[in-house]
């Protein structure tokens, strides 16, 4: 049984990329004799699951050169998306990343194929994050992921809380002014190149239809309205910028909802 390392089972994208190294075209017989014998990661995972009476459904692989070293398991829970597995190239390790409603919910790594199969089976069954971690302790979930699982309003509150903590490097004057506006406080905040953005859905891709606030320095801010050229001709205080964003929001735009902008579009077209 593989024990989580002191660093935890989650890795940043850069760390995961480093551990993978250059992706092999096929499983290395030295590192993955079980996969080499089965012919691919997806075949080996399906075989291991069957031998252990675990239901992982159809294990798919990607097209192209990574088809032998990549596997995907889908969930019966419509709120959960893909459970993706990649192989490490420099060492034997299965790297897991799982998403639901446009949100990265959990990730981790193990060198044990049976542990991987147990995690995939739990995902297939639609397990909660707590149940998933009980079945596969090598998987981790962030507080934001757990908040997403509870509901859109909890995810929104958690994300605002992350930004408003005193030790963050983000412009606190801008964040506090936006958070003070009830309609903006109900949207999912995110940032890009220091600009504060708002989404009407909590998953990626975000809605990208709400105006954005851009710090200019010296307590000065610009507001970029979607569909219009960016301009710094009009300069606002933080409070004025937040009010300007709200003024451009249609009355029908309510609190952020779970899912991606595609889910939001489908919901609004009904």
Q: Which of 7-16, 87-96, 155-164 shows the lowest mean pLDDT across its residues?
A: 7-16
Looking at residue 228, its pLDDT comes to 96
Looking at residue 26, its pLDDT comes to 80
Q: Which of 19-33, 68-82, 158-172, 191-205 shows the lowest mean pLDDT across its residues?
A: 19-33
More confident residue, 1 or 155: 155
pLDDT digits over 11-48, tens only? 444 344 434 445 546 888 999 999 999 999 999 999 99
> Mind giving me the DSSP string for 152-195?
HHHHHHHHHHHHHSTT--S-HHHHHHHHHSHHHHTSEEEEETTE
Q: What distance in Å separates the CA atoms of residue 158 and residue 146, rounded to the nearest whole number?
A: 10
Q: What distance in Å separates the CA atoms of residue 26 and residue 65, rounded to the nearest whole number?
A: 8
More confident residue, 10 or 247: 247
Confidence check: pLDDT of 101 > 70: yes
What average pLDDT does range 183-208 have in this prediction? 97
| Phi, psi for residue 80 in degrees, rounded to 5 | -105, 140
In the beta sheet, which residues pair with residue 106? 98
Confidence check: pLDDT of 210 > 80: yes
pLDDT digits over 102-113, tens only? 999 999 999 999
Residue 167: band (very low, low, confident or very high) from pLDDT cuts 50, 70, 90: confident
What average pLDDT does range 158-178 have in this prediction? 92
CB burial of residue 146 (10 Å; 0-12, 13-18, 19+) = middle
First to last CA, the chain: 49
Q: What distance in Å separates the CA atoms of residue 232 and residue 53, rounded to the nearest whole number?
A: 63
Q: Which of 262, 256, 145, 257 is nearest to 198 (CA)?
A: 256
């Amino acid at each position: 049984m593989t024990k989580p390392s002191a660093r935890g089972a989650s890795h940043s994208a850069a760390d995961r990329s480093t551990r993978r190294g250059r992706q092999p075209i096929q499983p290395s017989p030295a590192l993955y004799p079980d996969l080499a014998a089965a012919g691919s990661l997806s075949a080996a995972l399906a075989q291991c699951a069957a031998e252990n009476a675990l239901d992982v459904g159809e294990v798919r692989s990607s097209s192209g050169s990574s088809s032998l070293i990549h596997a995907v398991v889908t969930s019966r829970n419509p709120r959960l998306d893909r459970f993706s597995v990649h192989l490490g190239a420099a060492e034997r390790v299965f790297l897991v990343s799982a998403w639901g409603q446009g949100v990265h919910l959990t990730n981790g790594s193990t060198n044990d194929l049976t542990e991987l199969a147990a995690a995939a089976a739990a995902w297939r069954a639609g397990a909660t994050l707590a149940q998933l971690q009980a079945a596969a302790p090598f998987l981790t979930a962030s507080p934001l992921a757990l908040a997403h699982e509870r509901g859109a309003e909890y995810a929104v509150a958690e994300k605002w809380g992350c930004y408003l903590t005193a030790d963050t490097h983000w412009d606190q004057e801008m964040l506090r002014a936006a958070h003070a506006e009830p309609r903006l406080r109900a949207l999912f905040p995110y940032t890009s190149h220091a600009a504060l953005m708002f989404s009407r859905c909590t998953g990626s891709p975000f809605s990208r239809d709400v105006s954005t606030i851009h710090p200019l320095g010296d307590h000065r801010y610009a507001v970029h309205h979607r569909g219009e050229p960016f301009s710094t001709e009009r300069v606002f205080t933080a409070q004025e910028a937040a009010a300007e964003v709200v003024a451009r929001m249609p009355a029908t735009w309510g609190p952020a909802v779970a899912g991606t902008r595609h889910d939001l579009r489908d919901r609004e077209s009904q």
